[in-house]
Amino acid sequence: MRKKWIASTAALILLSACSGPNESAVNDPDARPAAEPPKPVTLNVFTDASAAIDIEQELVQKKFPHITLNVIKNGKDTRIENVVGSGQRLDLINHSMGSIWKLLDLQLLSDLTPYIEKSKFDLGRYVPGVVESMRSYSTKGELIALPYELNSSVLFYNKSIFNKFGVPYPKDGITWDEVYDLAKRLTKQDGGVQYKGFQFQHQNLTWKNQLGLPVVDAATNKALVNTDGWKRFLETMGRFYMIPGNEYTDSDTNNFLVKQVLAMRVGPNILSSIPEAVKTGLDWDVAAVPLFAGNTSGGSQLIAPFYSIPVGGANRETAFQVMEFLLSPEVQLLKSRSGKMPIVNDPAAIEAFAADIDGIQGKNMGAFFKETIGKPIKATRFDAIAKDEIWGKALKAYYEQSKDLNTVLREAEEAVNKKIAEQLQM
């Protein structure tokens, strides 16, 4: 599928970029001389998204033959601090949102506003909530990064398991309470097989939670974990693993795609793996990510990979030209066709979502676009500490029932505050 997508991309990009001169212009002696071709330039690009950058490298080369991307992939010996420490000058950084504070601490991120204004880049092309969310990472409201695709969660479900036990399929707008009721009915042992009703990817649903819960107070640098909001979150999500037979495992994707014993899974987009699973019998569909009853937060907070132009780059305007191209309608459309959620408000890209993936015909692809981006909380450099404490320890302690919920939250808050204090003293 990748080769097919690249081929169609090349055709479209070449068609839009390579319109030759017309005959009258060639024969007109008063016509202005053709502009000199741009000089070759190499951009040093650091990335922790190897698969994505391979595709984008080809797209950029076809659109801008004079631009070469020298890609430095994150690895054991090529962590970004090692690369920068070696004296390597970077022109572009491609990273996840969880890395923003690390990059800020390394003094690598710069305000993109001058380039946005100079190129007349329209921030209004983004879906609602993106720009506001990105500004929340800056103390002065600057834009230090531009995301290029969405990583929204949805509810994938195995229709065969629902059919086997005579349970109705989930629909868009379903609540977590309703999913819990379904999970209890679908968690059964049958024919020597243990079927699990529901599992979810902890990290994203916790960190960018639908309730808009902060984990650290940006004004005081104190944890905000032992609260009624987090109690509600853990009670809602932890109870799934208290269903007998539905105990926690860290293989939700494998249980859904390979073993096919999981009825429902909420987590990031796995569409690229669906065709192979269908070959082994998976009968699937999707519904929008479930909702907290009565919630007014507006949805999950933004999760998206991004590009930034680091401080000290030698080719900053060219780097922004590449960023702008990756957000262009033609690239967003083509990436959408491959199953990458467009981050721009483009009806054509939304309509074409996952069109090049085998087996999506008749599926509820609109579910991916039901949830809006929630109002952002003020981000802090200590959020990762609290996030890891909540989803890595507190949630686990609660659903294993090794401690009561009040103790779990109190100990989590104490642990977060201790780690924050240690970092502040460094």
> Is residue 329 classed exposed, middle or buried when 0-12, 13-18 and 19+ CB atoms within 10 A define those classes?
middle
Residues 6 and 117 in one domain: yes
Q: Answer yes or no: is pLDDT of 14 > 60.
A: no
Helix, strand and coil content of the chain, in percent to the nearest 5, comes to: 45, 15, 40
Domain, as residue range, for 272: 154-299+382-424
So what's the pLDDT on residue 17?
A: 47
175 in a structural domain: yes
Residues 213 and 340 in one domain: no
So what's the pLDDT on residue 296?
A: 62
Residues 186 and 260 in one domain: yes
Cα(215)–Cα(207) distance, rounded to whole angstroms? Answer: 8
So what's the pLDDT on residue 23?
A: 44
103 in a structural domain: yes
Q: Express each pLDDT in 307-356 by its tens digit.
A: 999 988 889 999 999 999 999 999 999 999 999 999 999 999 999 999 99
Question: Residues near 329 by Cβ (< 8 Å), separated by ≥ 6?
Answer: 344, 346, 348, 349
Residues 12 and 108 in one domain: yes
pTM (whole model) above 0.85: yes
Q: Answer yes or no: is pLDDT of 234 > 50.
A: yes
Whose CA is closest to 263, among 149, 158, 354, 185? 158
405 in a structural domain: yes
Residues 125 and 186 in one domain: no
Last residue of a domain, one of 327, 346, 369: 369
Q: How many domains does the chain contain in total?
A: 2
Residues 364 and 389 in one domain: no
Residues 67 and 101 in one domain: yes
354 in a structural domain: yes
Q: Answer yes or no: is pLDDT of 391 > 90.
A: no
377 in a structural domain: no
CATH code of the domain covering residue 336: 3.40.190.10
Cα(424)–Cα(426) distance, rounded to whole angstroms? Answer: 6
343 in a structural domain: yes
